[in-house]
Amino acid sequence: MTVAGLPAVLSRIAEIQQRFVPPARFAAALAEATAATAAPARPGPAPAPVWQPPAPSSAAGVGAAGGGPVVSAPSAGAPEWAARLPEAGRQWAPAIADAADRAGVDPRLLAALVWAESGFRADARSHAGATGLTQLMPGTARGLGVDPHDPASNLLGGARYLRAQLDRFGSPALALAAYNAGPGRVAQAGGIPRIAETQAYVPRVLDYYARLR
């Protein structure tokens, strides 16, 4: 019953009381009922506090995708994307940037290629004889006029070879497939050839490239 309806009820009670209830008892009951009605309602439990995210700090933190690790700031003279390389790759970032600039390719794509090819090991050598950071074959290195055993020259050769595949095939995915399997196989397949190593290599390099962008 609402407070607004209380006067009508009390009037009705008074009418009944005049007929059946002694005035003294009625007055006491009426006072008790009025006091109970006017008493404020008992407050309910306080609402649970709402969680608020902590304010962002000025330090570098998790990436926008929500899963990236905390990265350190690049050292002086290193390109900005170098901070997102594994530790082994950060020392090579300036040389990668220089080779990429000379060949006219995105330095982050070249860094991603080196990441996949050698894990940034200048002394890496494959069972097939590919050498160095960009894993140049001896014949390819000779054709490019570079020394595959010199890290800076190796990077320049890899950057030039990647540039040639980008010019020929027009997309990073096909250029990377050509870098791995050879341009003839990509041309013959009309796309990424059905070679297990190449089909795993292309998305791996593109994933590294995405992390650096």
Q: Which residues are catalytic?
A: 117
| HSE, side-chain direction, 13 A CA sphere, residue 159 | 23
Rounded Cα distance between 170 and 116, Å, is 21
Q: Which residues contact 70 (CB under 8 A, 6 or more apart)?
A: 59, 60, 61, 62
Would you state the structure tokens that stand for residue 148, as one six-digit string? Answer: 């595959």
Q: Which amino acid is at 34?
A: T
Rounded Cα distance between 112 and 129, Å, is 21
Rounded Cα distance between 134 and 159, Å, is 8
Rounded Cα distance between 203 and 94, Å, is 25
- DSSP states along 139-167: HHHHHHT--TTSHHHHHHHHHHHHHHHHH
